[in-house]
Amino acid sequence: MRVDDLGASGRPAAAPDWELEAIGFAPTGPKLLSREHVLAVPPGENGWIVRLDEFLAEQKPDVRPLLEREERAKP
């Protein structure tokens, strides 16, 4: 059952780890959902992939806050 406030239920909850940690819960497993993304480009675009990979690595410290902000903005 989807609820607006996980902390109010006092029961086990399923949510992204960052959301559980934000309300003081400890993620314990099992993992219910995992996503992997694949990017395919035409031959000769290896340089572009390298630049993209470097850019994403630089952004890693900002990823969790951005995801949290987006999740909170969902209706």
Q: For the segment 30-52, what is each residue's pLDDT rounded down to a tens digit?
A: 888 777 878 888 888 888 888 98
Domain extents in the chain: 6-73
Alpha helix segments (H runs only) across 1-75: 17-22, 46-73
- Between 48 and 11, the more confident residue is 48
Model confidence, pTM: 0.41
Cβ contacts of residue 17 below 8 Å, gap of 6+? 27
The amino acid at residue 44 is G
Residue 14 has which token pair?
């399923």
CB contact burial 14-52 (16+ within 10 A = b; e otherwise):
ebeeebbeeeeeeeeeeeeeeeeeeeeeeeeeeeeeeee
- Rounded average pLDDT over 11-39: 80
